Amino acid sequence: MGIISYMRFNFFKQSDIPEKYRSNFINLYLDIAWFGVVSGTAVNFLNVYATRLGASGLQIGLLTAAAAIVNLFLAIPAGHWISKRHTGLAVFWSSVLFRIGYFLWIPLPWFLDEQGQIWALIILTFFMAIPLTPLGVGFNALFAEAVPDRYRARVAGTRNVTFAIAYMLTSLIAGFILKNTDFPGGYQVIFVIGAFGAAMSSYHIYHVKPLQDEVLAPPSAPIPVSDPKPAPPRGMTAALRLDVWQSNFKNVLIALFIFHFAHYLSNPLYPIFNVRVLNLNDAHLGNGTALYYLSVLLASTQLGRIVHRFGNKRVTGWGVAGMATYPIMLAFAQNVWQFYALSFIGGGMFALVNGAYANYMLENIPPDDRPSHLAWYTIMFNFAVLASSLLGPIGADMMGLIPALIVFGVARFLAGLFLLKWG
């Protein structure tokens, strides 16, 4: 009851928010709530569905890597495209085109055999990544334009809480549906729910409006860019915005690349370990996800206070190091109760990182040049995802599943220390 009261009167309280910001904040909360529905259903069980269809570790890695390949090539053009358009509308239409793909997952079992469905999902993910690239570049810019600096930690924390609630509830519902519905019909039902959630998320993104009087306002803390300011780039340097690498933002890019690489190394291994080693059913996986996001919810209620005390960089770095506990503990798990316990622990670490790392990045970006900097971040993010999604399964084949989880967990810890020292 105490947690509920705290959330009600602190996280969702709007009375102390200036009127001109309230609509944006509410729509950002509703956007992430509906995206939580997508994530708790379609996205959450996509790799599990592919595993039950007989997908290999490499095929599961390709479900993630396909999008990363596209984003690597399109991030810079997407940054240019976003910078020349109304950010809100560009993000909205990108989200619509991307999320149409969720509807195409639904009829696959009616037309294709098991291997056909696996490759169709990989191909669809590849094409969905084309509009996902400007969506990924643009949303962080839209968030910065729609939320003044002094409210970002609060809004990010509230979005974490809202996402966690939606994810928790829908993952439990999805687990119940899958347990009581024949395969693959249950998966089609949760794909329908996810597609509806995706449409509603796009609806609320449409209503998030950049605050033009705030866009160029300096943040509350100085942004550490190179001094003196480099001359305006020309030619190929201008097209690729290589001047971004001449600023202190390059340290942030390198640190976040190492974090994302270490983070995604173990991700393709989880569904294989959970389904084929721990022998977990869909209800177990749904319960584990619910516990994970219950922990996210509880930790997010303290995020603003923690960030205020330690700063976004230190919260991100120590959170990344703490995320090492999940793959390492999973490697030693032998039953569903241990899986539940480590799911709860892992959620708390994830909440710290997820709530702080984007703001840590935005603190280091000039407010009048966000799209280009975010485009380079998107390139580094997707290069990390591509490399780790392919190398993770290869590493597991060479070392074995359990040793790979341990080694990849250690990599997360080292990534956190690197960010703290050099990020």
Which residues form the domain of 325? Answer: 20-210+247-422
- Please state, in angstroms and rounded to a whole number, the distance separating the CA atoms of residues 323 and 320: 5
- Whether 411 shows a pLDDT value over 90: the answer reads yes
- Is there a contact between 71 and 382 (Cβ–Cβ < 8 Å)? yes
Is 316 inside any structural domain?
yes
pLDDT value of position 12: 55
- Please state, in angstroms and rounded to a whole number, the distance separating the CA atoms of residues 339 and 14: 38
- Please state, in angstroms and rounded to a whole number, the distance separating the CA atoms of residues 323 and 343: 11
Average of pLDDT values for 271-293? 86
pLDDT value of position 212: 65
Average of pLDDT values for 104-126? 93
- Please state, in angstroms and rounded to a whole number, the distance separating the CA atoms of residues 222 and 106: 48
C-alpha 38 chain-centroid distance: 13
- Give the model confidence (pLDDT) of 217-248 as tens digits: 444 433 333 333 444 445 444 556 777 787 88
Tokens of 369: 């040049």
Average of pLDDT values for 159-186? 87
How far is residue 215 from each of residues 93, 288, 402, measured CA to CA in Å? 21, 41, 48
- Whether 51 shows a pLDDT value over 90: the answer reads no
- Whether 109 shows a pLDDT value over 50: the answer reads yes
Question: What average pLDDT does the structure give for the chain?
Answer: 84
- Whether 8 shows a pLDDT value over 80: the answer reads no
- Whether 17 shows a pLDDT value over 50: the answer reads yes
- Give the model confidence (pLDDT) of 256-265 as tens digits: 999 999 999 9
Of 130, 142, 135, give the one whose Cα is nearest residue 68: 130
| Between 15 and 90, the higher pLDDT residue | 90
- Please state, in angstroms and rounded to a whole number, the distance separating the CA atoms of residues 215 and 408: 40
pLDDT value of position 112: 92
| Between 1 and 142, the higher pLDDT residue | 142
pLDDT value of position 258: 95
For 101-169, the three-class secondary structure string (H helix, E strand, C coil) is HHHHHCCHHHHCCHHHHHHHHHHHHHHHHHHHHHHHHHHHHHHHHHCCHHHHHHHHHHHHHHHHHHHHH
Q: What percent of the chain has pLDDT over 90?
A: 38
Is 223 inside any structural domain?
no
Of 293, 275, 379, 380, give the one whose Cα is nearest residue 57: 275
Q: What percent of the chain has pLDDT over 70?
A: 89
- Give the model confidence (pLDDT) of 116-159 as tens digits: 999 999 999 999 989 988 898 788 788 888 888 888 878 887 88
pLDDT value of position 62: 85
Contacts of residue 311, Cβ cutoff 8 Å, sequence gap at least 6: none
Number of domains the chain is built from: 1
> Tell me, what amino acid is at 137?
V
- Is there a contact between 164 and 300 (Cβ–Cβ < 8 Å)? yes
Is 297 inside any structural domain?
yes
Q: What is the CATH classification number for the domain harbouring 150?
A: 1.20.1250.20
Is 13 inside any structural domain?
no
- Please state, in angstroms and rounded to a whole number, the distance separating the CA atoms of residues 346 and 17: 32
| Between 358 and 53, the higher pLDDT residue | 53
pLDDT value of position 10: 54
- Whether 99 shows a pLDDT value over 80: the answer reads yes
Is 356 inside any structural domain?
yes
pLDDT value of position 155: 86
Contacts of residue 134, Cβ cutoff 8 Å, sequence gap at least 6: 74, 78, 81, 82, 90, 91, 94
Is 226 inside any structural domain?
no
Average of pLDDT values for 40-64? 86
Local confidence band at 215 (pLDDT 50, 70, 90 cut-offs): very low
- Is there a contact between 207 and 27 (Cβ–Cβ < 8 Å)? yes
Average of pLDDT values for 29-41? 92
- Give the model confidence (pLDDT) of 321-354 as tens digits: 999 999 999 999 999 999 999 999 998 888 889 8
Average of pLDDT values for 85-104? 91
pLDDT value of position 167: 85
Is 70 inside any structural domain?
yes
Task: Provide φ and ψ at 199, rounded to 5°.
Answer: -65, -40
219: left (phi over 0), alpha (psi -120 to 50) or beta: beta
Is 171 buried (19+), middle (13-18) or exposed (0-12) by CB count in 10 A? buried
Is 29 inside any structural domain?
yes
